[in-house]
Amino acid sequence: MFALMLAAAVAVSTPPPSPAPANPCNPAEACRYVDTFPIKDAKGEEHKVLVQRWLPYLLKGRLTLFPGEVVSLTVSEAGPAVTAAAVLRSEDRDPGTEAAAAALQKKTAESGQEQLDPVFKMAPNQAFVADKDSLRLAFLQTAQGDMMLRIASGYGGVLTYHAGIVRPGGDGPAATSVCSVIGLKTGIETWPPPIVAIELSDFKVEPGDSPKVECR
Name residues of the chain where pLDDT drops below 50. 1-14, 90-98, 111-121, 124-125
- Can you give the pLDDT at residue 74? 95
Contact between residue 37 and residue 88 where contact means Cβ atoms under 8 Å apart: no
- Can you give the pLDDT at residue 109? 58
- Can you give the pLDDT at residue 31? 87
- Can you give the pLDDT at residue 88? 65
